[in-house]
Amino acid sequence: MSKWRAAIENAPLIARGIYEYHVASRLGPLPAREWLFPLTYRCNSRCVMCNIWQGSHEDELSTADWEPILADPFFGSVQGVSLTGGEPTLRQDLPQLAELLVRRLPSLRRMTLTTNALSPPHVVQQCEQLQALCAAHGIHLYVGVSLDGIGPLHDEMRNVPGAFERVVTTLDGLQARGLRSVPGAKRRGLPVGINCTLTSRNLRGAEDVQRWCTQRGLDVNYIVASFADSYYGNTETEADLQFSAEQRRELATFLQQLAARRSPGNPAAYFYADAARMLTRGAARTTPCVFQKDGFILDARGDMQYCMYGHILGNVRNQSAGTLFRAPENMAHRQEIITRQCATCTITCFLEVGLAKDLCRFTGFLLRGLRSVPGAKRRGLL
C-alpha cells in the first residue's frame, strides 16, 4: 500500500483521534475504541519472559457466553480488537468467536491476531478463516508471529524444542497461500509481521532477527519485555531478564539505529527513539498510549482492566462493561496508573493506532528527522 493511500484510508481515524485525544478527553471519558482481548490463557509455549501458561485455564467464557455480554451498547464504539492470549489459536471456536465480534461490534475496523505459530497447519487454517471473515466485512486483519531469535535461540526463549522450525513452517504456509507479508505489496491477502520480545537473554540475536526477516520481506516489531503480575505473572523473572548497564547501552544503540529509519510509514521509529531516550537519559516516555484514553483489556474470564499494570476493575458476568469502564472509582484508578507507571512503560500495544490519534507528536518527530538531512530545504523536503 502506498503512503498516500494509507494516509487517505486512515484519515477518519486520524481526524477522530485528534479531536478526541486533544479536545473531547478534556471534557470527560472517551468512548471505548481499542480492546485487547486475551481470549484464552492456555498456551503451548513456556516462554522465559511470560508465566501466563502457569496460570488457571478454567472458567473461560465460551462463544455462547459472550453473546449477551456483547449486547452491551458499550461495545458499539469499539474499532479495534487485538486477539491474544496465551495462544489464541488454541481456542477451537476462534473463528466462531471472531464472527460474533464482527457481528456485535458495528464500528469494528481492525483486528489483530498474535500467535506463537507453533502448530503450523492449524494456525494457517485459522488465519485463512479469519481473513475470509474480515475481507467479507471490510475489516483490516493483521497477524503478528512471535519470533525471539533465529534457530536454537528462539527455542531457548520459548522453551520448546523445534520452535523455530515450526515458526518457519507456519510462515511458509502463510506466504505460499498468497497471504501478504511484503511491505508495500498490493492490498490483497493478509499482512503478516514478526513480534520480537527483547530481554537480556536474546538481545545478542536482535540484529540476526532483523536480517533474517529482511530476507523474507517481513517487518519486525521489537518489544522491550515488560513485567506485570496482573497479566504476565512474571515479576519474579525480572531480576534474571533485566538488562545490565552494558546491555542497556547496547539496546539503546540498537533502538537508535531502528529509529533512524523514520518515515511516514514507520511509526514504530518514534517509539524506538523514545525508548532509547528512556534508557540513556532516564527520560519519561512520550509515546502515546491508547490505554490512557480509550483502550481496555477484557479477558477470557470476563475480567476488565485499563492496562496490564492496573488492577481488575470487575467482571462483566456481574456488571456491564460500560459500568466498569466509566465508574468514577475506576477512572480514579486509571489516573493513578498514569501518574505512577506510564513514564517508564515500554508496552507497545496499539502503538500505530495511538500515534495516528496523537499525530502531532509523530509529525514533529518526522520533521526533526528532515532537519537533520543536509540540504533538505534546498531539495524541497521542508
First to last CA, the chain: 24
In sequence order, which ranges of the chain are alpha helices (DSSP H)? 3-9, 11-22, 63-69, 94-104, 120-136, 152-158, 163-176, 206-216, 238-241, 245-259, 268-281, 321-326, 328-340, 351-357, 359-371
How many helices (H) and strands (E) the chain has is answered by 15, 9
Could you give the count of Cα atoms lying within 13 Å of 243 in the half-sphere of its Cβ?
Answer: 18
Q: Which of 101, 344, 332, 103 shows the shortest CA–CA distance to 113?
A: 101
Report domain extents, the chain: 3-24+31-369
Q: How far apart are CA 39 and CA 339, in angstroms?
A: 29
pLDDT value at residue 10: 66
| pLDDT tens figures, 189-217 | 578 999 999 999 999 999 999 999 999 99
pLDDT value at residue 230: 66
pLDDT value at residue 321: 98
Q: For 3-24+31-369, which CATH class?
A: alpha beta
pLDDT value at residue 182: 37
Q: Which three cell numbers stand for residue 275?
A: 525508548
Instruction: Kindly give the parts of the chain with pLDDT less than 70.
Output: 1-10, 55-56, 177-189, 227, 229-236, 238, 370-382
| pLDDT tens figures, 228-278 | 766 666 566 767 778 899 999 999 999 999 999 998 888 999 999 999 999
pLDDT value at residue 378: 39
pLDDT value at residue 32: 97
